[in-house]
Amino acid sequence: MKKIAVIGSGFSGLSAAAYVAKEGHEVHVFEKNSSLGGRARQFTTDNGYIFDMGPSWYWMPDIIEDFFSAFNKKTSDYYELVSLNPQFEMVFSDGIMAVPKDYSEMRDLFESLEKGAAKKLDKFMEDAQYKYEVGMKDFVTKPCHSWFEFVSPKIAKSALKLDLLSNFHRFVRKYFSNPKLIMLMEFPVIFLGAAPKDIPALYSLMNYGGYKLGTWYPMGGFYKVIEAMSEIAKEQGAQFHLNSNVDEIKIKDGKAQSIIVNGLEIEFDSIIASSDYHHTEQNLLQKEYQNYNEDYWKKKTFAPSCLIYYLGFKEKIQNLKHHTLFFENDLELHTSEIYEDKKWPTKPLFYACCPSKTDKNVAPENCENVFLLMPIAIGIEDNEEIREKYFLEMIERLEKHTKSSNLLSKIDYKKSYCINDFKKDYNAYQGNAYGLANTLNQTAVLKPSLRNKKVKNLFYTGQLTVPGPGVPPSIISGKIAATEATK
């Protein structure tokens, strides 16, 4: 049995720790912050608000359930899942579109906006379901050391149907022409880190994993998933160390021999780095042991960063749903300013989450818990003046949509979070929020290697390696890394 270190306690780190410990190995998880969860941490304010700091969309429930079933558990053993209806609202310049939970109602919505769109939606979802079942069960579960891993009768037979070589932008337009329906179908891939024209059509599986399988909420907040996964890891024997910053990985004779934690050297047989890949290599390893140099990372396409505001309001906000997407402006303009121009958006889109509409425990009585998020380019200037400018614009649009007034005067709590915070708290490369984009030339074997090519017992996991960004992929990434580390 091995003594294995896991650096970082985000979803991939917790997943890796649980799977490694299950095999009987001694596992130690080192977290630089004062609480577990990485980007999915949670905090409670002195006046009674509970904020999830990161993920808020609970999609692909079956993939998350797979983790629990590997330990003979169910998600329901740890938290209650509520299916949201509507799943979310989209605010356009000329009206509002609510996306219903029930698929037959969704078909009616599509047909009302475009004649014949209901049947086209059926065909789209049939195709997306196939990609989901092959993609999420077979394609994304490979360690991706070589293309030969994908030489199987099932994947070979599926190659054309998986649409790896066509782009999502064109793919959606083969089915729909109504601008609102196009925007609805393109929205999920924004979180994959690139414009729809640069994302493989394979990722229509996101539409199935979200719209068809539903949008859920774990009562108590998304942090309930972190608590549950860490509990499972502890039950397997994993040990957790908070406020434990890893300063260096020491190499001897081509093997990772130890790590320096808060100045103390501790020896290990293997190391799994769930920490930021770029940071791990550039700051914890000597140059000769790095897989990639700084030029490599500069050429990569990263998912966006974001400007977030955690807000408590001392009264209820009418006409606001749990999830609301403010899409009054042009999606292509916003995405081009994120990925091509790399500047603060001129006409931004943003997202509002109000979990207190579903969960009364995340805000004081008759108060509201609101989380505003605006995707932005990585590596751009970040200061309070810029943050405040966009905050005021988002509040103004929130007031207009909800027909509220004087929301600024009703703020009970306010905290911003942006590029500088992602760098400080997570060592995130250029302040990215979601990892490496799932573009065609950054898919599978073309992603940063899960294995260090020069140090045989050092492995990487998380959103900068396979299979990519998002909660379910990160959980899968941890499982893959655990398998590799315990061979």
Cα(480)–Cα(142) distance, integer angstroms:
7
pLDDT above 70 (res 159): no
Cα(61)–Cα(38) distance, integer angstroms:
20
pLDDT band of residue 139 (cuts 50, 70, 90) is confident
Output the average pLDDT for the chain. 95
Q: What is the pLDDT of residues 258-315, one digit of tens each?
A: 999 999 999 999 999 999 999 999 999 999 999 999 999 999 999 999 999 999 999 9
Quickly count: other Cβ atoms within 10 Å of residue 38's Cβ: 27
Q: At CA 203, angle to CA 197 and CA 205, rounded to 5? A: 145
User: Model pTM?
Assistant: 0.97
Instruction: Name which of 159-163, 262-266, 300-304, 316-320 the model is least confident about.
Output: 159-163
pLDDT above 80 (res 156): no
* Amino acid at residue number 284: L
Q: What is the pLDDT of residues 167-225, one digit of tens each?
A: 999 999 999 999 999 999 999 887 777 889 889 899 999 999 999 999 999 999 999 99
Phi (first) and psi of residue 326, to 5 degrees: -95, 95
Cα(193)–Cα(189) distance, integer angstroms:
7
What does the longest C-alpha to C-alpha distance in the chain come to? 67
Smallest CA-to-CA distance from 429 within 295, 278, 303, 274 is with: 278
pLDDT above 80 (res 164): no
Question: Which two tokens mark 65?
Answer: 């359930």
pLDDT band of residue 32 (cuts 50, 70, 90) is very high
Residue 111, class by beta-carbon neighbours within 10 Å (0-12 exposed, 13-18 middle, 19+ buried)?
middle
Q: What is the pLDDT of residues 89-138, one digit of tens each?
A: 999 999 999 999 999 999 999 999 999 999 999 999 999 999 999 888 88
Cα(450)–Cα(464) distance, integer angstroms:
9
Cα(186)–Cα(233) distance, integer angstroms:
36
With b meaning 16 or more CB within 10 Å and e meaning fewer, what string describes 388-404?
eebbeebbebbeebbeb
Question: Helix (H, G, I), strand (E, B), or coil: what is residue 191?
Answer: helix
pLDDT above 70 (res 155): no
Cα(306)–Cα(348) distance, integer angstroms:
11
Residue 244 pLDDT: 98
Q: What is the pLDDT of residues 238-273, one digit of tens each?
A: 999 999 999 999 999 999 999 999 999 999 999 999
Q: Taking residues 58-84, what's their average pLDDT?
A: 98
Q: CA-CA distances (angstroms) from residue 17 to 26, 32, 278, 465? A: 10, 16, 21, 17
Residue 177 pLDDT: 98
Q: List the beta bridge partners of residue 273.
A: 7, 460
